[in-house]
Amino acid sequence: MLGVWRLQLLREVARRGTIKAAAAAMDVTPSAVSQQLRILEAEAGIPLLERHGRHVRLTDAGQRLVRHADAITTAIAAAESDLASARDGVTGTLRVAAFPTAARAILPTAIVRLGARHPDVRVNLRDLETRESLVALAGDEVDVAVVDEYDEVTRIRDRGLDLVPLATDPIHVAIPLDRGTRVGRAVALEDLRDEAWIMDTEASSIHQAVTRACAAAGFEPVTRANCKDYGVIIALVEAGLGIAMLPGLAFRDRAIRATVLPIDPPLERRLSVAVKPERRGHPAIAAMVDELRAAGAMSP
């Protein structure tokens, strides 16, 4: 009989490409993973892995078995949620991921409210960008993820996830105070073509979405600096070194010494809570989603 634990190990090896990476994800030693996979191959009666240096590749039989492992893991998660709903009270440890601005502006409120209503629930928060969160969610490293989408290119299309709408977060342009721009006036993107731009890192979703919006307006922004930390971006704008596109959550409850204006055409990001359908009925997860929705409703 095939062992469920060993099937999960094979699944992780398939996802991560090395036994070492799979061992780290499952919090066991690489030697333990190798040993369990040898037992699994004996149980299956057929080779499941081919080794290529440090990497391993699944045989055709191994790939078939991983597909069954995915279904089995999904069924186990559904069973856990069903059993949890039969218990008295809401308990357990929740692993939550959120991109940095949501982790700062939304999660503290949601976690405090959850703790007040369900003191036996513990929350472990990870600060992850949306792409990282989706990988962690697929690998069962987190239970809930707060994610964002900017446009069709960044739209999340994974049918294996439920996306619960959270809020919309408009993107604004922050301009140094000495420019004398009239407060409240929307700024056309093409009017910013000759500015020096302070941008997020090139790999970030907002950098790519803003770059696409500028291209649609007929120009490529001239970047003076790329910074991951919005606090640094804001400081550079305040120093007069350039302009920046900022989501509303970046300056929620934060004083900013710059003129912050809407842009034309408008650009916004959609915030959602991502969770696997088979896990959504778990009482602790359902409670966390409710609190995130309530906290998200308070956002800009």
In DSSP notation, 115-143 reads: HHH-TTEEEEEEE--HHHHHHHHHTTS-S
Q: Which two tokens stand for residue 290?
A: 């409710």
**CB neighbours (10 Å) of residue 46?**
13
**The predicted structure's pLDDT at residue 77:** 62
What is the pLDDT, as a whole number, of residue 52? 74
Q: How far apart are CA 32 and CA 19, in angstroms?
A: 10
User: In the prediction, which pLDDT does 80 show?
Assistant: 63
pLDDT at 183: 59
Can you tell me whether residue 11 is helix, strand or coil?
helix
Each residue's pLDDT, cut to its tens digit, for the chain (300 residues) gives: 667 777 777 887 887 778 888 777 766 788 888 888 888 888 888 888 887 777 788 888 888 887 877 777 766 666 565 565 556 567 888 999 999 999 999 999 999 999 999 999 999 999 999 988 988 887 778 999 999 999 888 888 877 788 999 999 999 999 998 775 555 678 899 999 999 999 999 988 899 999 999 999 999 999 999 998 999 999 999 999 999 999 999 887 778 899 999 998 899 999 999 998 888 888 889 999 999 999 887 655
- Decide if 95 contacts 121 (C-beta within 8 A): no
State the alpha helices, DSSP H only, in 88-229: 100-105, 107-117, 130-138, 205-216
Tell me what pLDDT residue 81 has.
57
Domains along the chain with CATH numbers: 4-85 (1.10.10.10), 90-166+270-296 (3.40.190.10), 168-268 (3.40.190.290)
Q: What are phi and psi of 179, to 5 degrees?
A: -80, -20
What local confidence, expressed as pLDDT, does residue 14 receive? 81
pLDDT at 20: 84
d(CA 103, CA 109): 10
Backbone angles phi, psi at 47, to 5 degrees: -60, 135
State the angle between helix axes of 4-16 and 30-44 in degrees (0 to 180), rounded to the nearest 10.
110
Tokens of 30: 């690489």
Q: Going by DSSP bridges, is the β-strand pair 196-199/222-226 parallel, antiparallel, or unpaired?
A: parallel
Structure tokens that stand for 223 in this block: 């970047």
